[in-house]
């Protein structure tokens, strides 16, 4: 069953809610988070993760995948701040709408950033890394009261998993290229 880790922090008249939903099952799951605070949801604009609409946010998670979700509300904190619902998705389920990964550029033409320099990352990856940079900066600036904040710990685990996955994909690509050159 998917699990939810959620942390609230009340400051300057706002309750900040940070959640990580984990799909620890062997099936793709459609998850829905519902706000339980007694106030409106103010979702981050342009950030990673699902959008909040009418106090709920939904996304599809592959087996072993997790997603960070957050919002602010003028309501006071309460437990639980968020409720998690989920459903198994069958192959071809029309409700399993994921953000598509952009198609690669033709060989020899890497996608460039908007300013024309460097290789561009897919928008979802860029947004996720930007949000991660903000959380790391908050920890570095000691804006968090605790050094063991759960989001920072999950971010470290997530980056390590990203590094491992990128290394495996790099090895597979190198092996495939070697095989193509031999053929």
| Closest by Cα among 82, 76, 56 to 9 | 76
In a shared domain, residues 115 and 166? yes
Residue 23 in contact with residue 75, Cβ under 8 Å? no
Please say which residue of 57, 89, 121 terminates a domain. 89
Q: Is the domain of 55 the same as that of 120?
A: no
For residue 97, being part of any structural domain is answered with no
- 42 in a domain, yes or no? yes
Number of domains in the chain: 2
With 0.85 as the threshold, say if the pTM is over it. no
The rounded average pLDDT for each run of 10 residues, N- to C-terminus, in the chain (183 residues) is 89 86 88 92 69 86 84 91 87 49 45 55 65 68 53 66 84 86 79
Asked whether residue 82 falls in the same domain as residue 4, the answer is yes
Locate all alpha helices (DSSP H) within the chain, ordered by sequence.
Answer: 123-140, 150-182
Please tell me the predicted confidence (pLDDT) of residue 35. 93
Q: What is the pLDDT of residue 152?
A: 56
pLDDT of residue 177: 85
pLDDT number for residue 52 = 82
Phi, psi of 28 (to 5 degrees): -65, 140
Structural domain of 81: 1-89
Same domain, 10 and 66: yes
Residue 99 domain flag: no
């Amino acid at each position: 069953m998917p699990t939810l880790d959620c942390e609230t922090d009340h400051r300057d008249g706002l309750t900040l809610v940070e959640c990580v939903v984990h799909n620890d099952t062997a099936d793709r799951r459609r998850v829905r988070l519902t706000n339980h605070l007694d106030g409106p949801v103010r979702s981050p604009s342009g950030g990673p993760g699902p959008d909040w609409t009418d106090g709920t946010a939904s996304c599809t998670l592959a087996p072993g995948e997790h997603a960070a979700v957050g919002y602010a509300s003028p309501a006071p904190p309460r437990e639980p701040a968020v409720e998690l619902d989920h459903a198994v998705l069958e192959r071809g389920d029309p409700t399993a709408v994921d953000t598509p990964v952009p198609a690669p550029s033709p060989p020899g033409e890497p996608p460039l950033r908007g300013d024309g320099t460097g290789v561009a990352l897919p928008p979802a990856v860029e947004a996720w890394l930007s949000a991660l940079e903000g959380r790391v900066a908050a920890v570095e600036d000691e804006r968090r009261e605790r050094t063991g904040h759960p989001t920072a710990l999950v971010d470290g685990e997530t980056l390590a998993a990203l590094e491992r996955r990128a290394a495996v994909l790099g090895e597979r690509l190198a092996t495939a290229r070697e095989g193509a050159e031999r053929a």
